[in-house]
Amino acid sequence: MKVFPPDKIRNVALVGHSGAGKTTLAEALLYRAGTIQRLGTIEDGTTVTDFDPEEHARGMSLSLALAPFEWKGFKINLIDTPGYADFVGDVHAALRVSDLAIFVVSAVDGVEVQTEYAWSVADTLRVPRMVFINKLDKERASFDRTLEHLRDRFGAGIAPIELPIGEHDAFHGVADLFRDKAYIYDSGQAEEVEIPEEMSSREHEIHDNLVEGIVVADDEMLERYLDGDIPSVPELEHTMAKGIAEATVFPVVCGSATGPIAVDRLADFITELGPAPTDRPPMVVKAGDQTVEVVSDVSGDPLAFVFKTIADPYVGQISLMRVRSGTLKPETTLSNSRSGSDEKLAKIATMIGKETELVASAPAGDIVAVAKLSDTDTGDTLAPKNKPVTLPPVDRPEPVLSTAVTAKTQADEDKLANALRRILAEDPALLLERNSETKQTLLWGMGETHLTITLERLQRKFGVAVETTKAKVPYRETISRSAQAEGKYKKQTGGHGQYGVCFLRVSPLPGGTGFEFVDEIKGGSIPRQFIPAVEKGVRETMADGGTRGFPVVDVQVAVYDGKYHSVDSSEMSFKMAGRLGFKSAMEQAGPVMLEPISRLKVTVPADYQGDVMGDLSSRRGQLQGTEAAAGGRQLITALVPTSEIMNYAIDLRSLTQGWGQFSAAHDHYQEMPSHMADQVVKELEEESSK
Q: What is the CATH number of domain 594-689?
A: 3.30.70.240
| pLDDT computed for residue 316 by the predictor | 82
| pLDDT computed for residue 253 by the predictor | 97
| pLDDT computed for residue 494 by the predictor | 66
Does pLDDT of 440 surpass 90?
yes
Asked if residues 110 and 21 have their Cβ atoms less than 8 Å apart, the reply is no
User: Between residues 317 and 10, which one has the greater pLDDT?
Assistant: 10
Does pLDDT of 425 surpass 70?
yes
pLDDT, average across residues 374-379: 92
Please tell me which of 46-50, 562-566, 614-618 the model is most confident about, judged by mean pLDDT.
614-618
Q: What angle do CA 653, 655, 660 make, to 5 degrees?
A: 50
How far is the C-alpha of 256 from the C-alpha of 262, rounded, in Å?
A: 7
| pLDDT computed for residue 231 by the predictor | 86
What are the DSSP calls for 472-503, one per residue?
A: PP--EEEESS-EEEEEEEEE--SSS-EEEEEE
CATH topology of domain 401-469: Alpha-Beta Plaits (3.30.70)
Q: What percentage of the chain exceeds 90 in pLDDT?
A: 78
User: Was domain 284-390 assigned CATH 3.30.9.10?
Assistant: no
pLDDT, average across residues 18-35: 96
Does pLDDT of 228 surpass 90?
no
Domain made up of 8-279: CATH architecture:
3-Layer(aba) Sandwich (3.40)
How far is the C-alpha of 600 from the C-alpha of 390, rounded, in Å?
A: 33
pLDDT band at 465 (very low <50, low <70, confident <90, very high): very high
pLDDT, average across residues 310-336: 92
Does pLDDT of 230 surpass 80?
yes
- In the chain, CATH 3.30.230.10 sits at 476-589
pLDDT band at 540 (very low <50, low <70, confident <90, very high): very high
How far is the C-alpha of 616 from the C-alpha of 43, rounded, in Å?
A: 39
Other residues' Cβ atoms within 10 Å of the Cβ of residue 687: 11
Distance in angstroms between the alpha carbons of the first and the last residue of the chain: 60
How far is the C-alpha of 577 from the C-alpha of 582, rounded, in Å?
A: 8
Q: What is the rounded average pLDDT for all residues in the chain?
A: 93
pLDDT, average across residues 58-72: 94
Q: What is the CA radius of gyration of the chain?
A: 32
| pLDDT computed for residue 221 by the predictor | 84
Asked if residues 538 and 504 have their Cβ atoms less than 8 Å apart, the reply is yes
pLDDT, average across residues 120-126: 95
Does pLDDT of 156 surpass 90?
no
- In the chain, CATH 2.40.30.10 sits at 284-390
| pLDDT computed for residue 42 by the predictor | 77
Does pLDDT of 632 surpass 90?
no
User: Between residues 329 and 291, which one has the greater pLDDT?
Assistant: 329
How far is the C-alpha of 685 from the C-alpha of 367, rounded, in Å?
A: 55
Report pLDDT digits (tens) over 548-590.
999 999 999 999 999 999 888 999 999 999 999 999 999 999 9
User: Between residues 115 and 218, which one has the greater pLDDT?
Assistant: 115
| pLDDT computed for residue 495 by the predictor | 67
* Highest CATH level, class, for 476-589: alpha beta
How far is the C-alpha of 605 from the C-alpha of 350, rounded, in Å?
A: 42
How far is the C-alpha of 477 from the C-alpha of 556, rounded, in Å?
A: 13
| pLDDT computed for residue 70 by the predictor | 97
pLDDT band at 690 (very low <50, low <70, confident <90, very high): low
| pLDDT computed for residue 478 by the predictor | 97
The DSSP symbol for 256 reads: B
- Assign 3-class secondary structure to 346-406: CCCEEEECCEEEECCCEECCCEEEEECCCCCCCCCEEECCCCCEECCCCCCCCCCEEEEEE
Asked if residues 358 and 348 have their Cβ atoms less than 8 Å apart, the reply is yes
The predicted model scores a pTM of 0.90
